[in-house]
């Protein structure tokens, strides 16, 4: 069943999102935030996994059915605008990669709106990368973007799907095809070009600053849920996050890299439910 896409029109943007699950549930809704270069379709396996929760799944600016990124903007402010428009007072936020950073930003900037967070494949919106594998991949990705080679751009991006210890052929074809489809749609739908055909990168979102320094004051339960086959830096950032916050746990999903919700959805969903139980125990 294809979920219905809703739209929120604001003065400066349009947000496309799914609104699934039980709207009458008294439990805090789940907000699922995708990573960079993909979109809300990343979360299709989770839409029916939490029938007792309302589930909100937006496209970030410059992704999916949401507006292109224009000028200065913060992803956390876009999420807050959506919560306000839907009159959601408190939520549990689950984010992968870029979306995980935004989840942490929301908890830091607006702690009263967050009952708990799950962060996958990152630590905060200020991740640190030193591993040669990750640095090489990011460099090759930028080169493919600057060269306007869409297939090369997707091929490099898929290195994160496989992780450093596998080839893409070792990943479930349904997973790699889903990631490739979303990445291609992101480029075709949102990447602009100059008159000479040179790709014009979208404006980068404005960062939330001093995230690592602020984490010791974050009181909500935190789960850093990383694929065991993800890059060393992605896992190290998640482990650092869990160690720094007062109520943090670090869990690895075996058999998965950067997208554990797609590769091992049952294990992923079970770990998220544990976080939901932790969050509920704080208010019971």
Say if pTM beats, i.e. exceeds, 0.85: yes
Task: Report pLDDT digits (tens) over 141-166.
Answer: 989 888 888 899 999 999 999 999 99
What does DSSP assign to residue 203? Answer: P
Helix (H, G, I), strand (E, B) or coil at 183: helix
254-263 mean pLDDT: 98
Structural domain boundaries of the chain? 5-128+204-283, 132-200
Burial zone of 8 (CB within 10 Å; 0-12 exposed, 13-18 middle, 19+ buried):
middle
Torsion of CA 172, 257, 34, 145, to 10 degrees: -90
Q: Do the Cβ atoms of 156 and 135 come closer than 8 Å?
A: no
Of 237, 232, 8, which is closest to residue 101 (Cα–Cα)?
Answer: 237
Q: How confident is the model at residue 116 (pLDDT cuts 50, 70, 90)?
A: very high
**At 71, is the pLDDT very low, low, confident or very high (cuts 50, 70, 90)?**
confident
Architecture of domain 5-128+204-283 in this structure? 3-Layer(aba) Sandwich (3.40)
Which residues are registered as beta bridge partners of 157? none
- pLDDT more than 90, % of the chain: 85
Q: pLDDT tier at 283 (50, 70, 90 boundaries)?
A: low
Q: Is the pLDDT of residue 284 over 60?
A: no
Tokens of 249: 């746990």
172-192 mean pLDDT: 93
pLDDT per residue over 20-42, tens digit each?
999 999 999 999 999 999 999 99
Q: In this predicted model, which residue has the larger pLDDT, 192 or 224?
A: 224
Name every residue whose Cβ is closer than 8 Å to that of residue 262 and which is 6 or more positions away in sequence: 42, 45, 172, 175, 178, 179, 256
pLDDT tens-digit map of 191-221: 777 776 667 777 889 989 999 999 999 999 9
């Amino acid at each position: 069943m294809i979920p219905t896409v809703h739209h929120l029109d604001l003065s400066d943007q349009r947000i496309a999102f799914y609104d699934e699950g039980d709207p009458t549930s008294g439990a805090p809704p789940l907000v699922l935030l995708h990573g960079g270069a993909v979109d809300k379709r990343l979360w299709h396996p989770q839409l029916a996994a939490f029938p007792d929760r309302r589930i909100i799944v937006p496209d970030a600016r410059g992704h999916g059915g949401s507006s292109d990124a224009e000028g200065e903007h913060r992803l956390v402010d876009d999420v807050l605008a959506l919560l306000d428009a839907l009159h959601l007072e408190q939520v549990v936020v689950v984010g992968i990669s870029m979306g995980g950073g935004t989840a942490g930003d929301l908890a830091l900037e607006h702690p009263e709106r967050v009952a708990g967070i799950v962060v996958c494949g990152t630590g905060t919106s200020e991740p640190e990368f030193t591993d040669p594998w990750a640095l090489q991949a990011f460099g090759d990705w930028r080169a493919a973007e600057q060269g306007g080679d869409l297939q090369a751009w997707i091929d490099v991006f898929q290195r994160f799907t496989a992780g450093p210890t596998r080839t893409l052929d070792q990943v479930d074809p349904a997973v790699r095809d889903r990631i490739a489809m979303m990445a291609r749609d992101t480029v075709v739908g949102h990447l602009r070009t100059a008159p000479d055909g040179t790709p014009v990168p979208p404006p980068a979102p404005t960062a939330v600053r001093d995230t690592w320094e602020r984490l010791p004051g974050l009181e909500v339960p935190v789960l850093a849920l990383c694929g065991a086959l993800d890059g060393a830096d992605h896992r190290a950032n998640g482990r650092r996050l869990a160690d720094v916050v007062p109520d943090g746990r670090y869990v690895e999903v075996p058999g998965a890299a950067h997208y554990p919700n797609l590769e091992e959805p049952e294990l992923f969903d079970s770990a998220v439910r544990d976080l939901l139980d932790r969050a509920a125990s704080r208010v019971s």
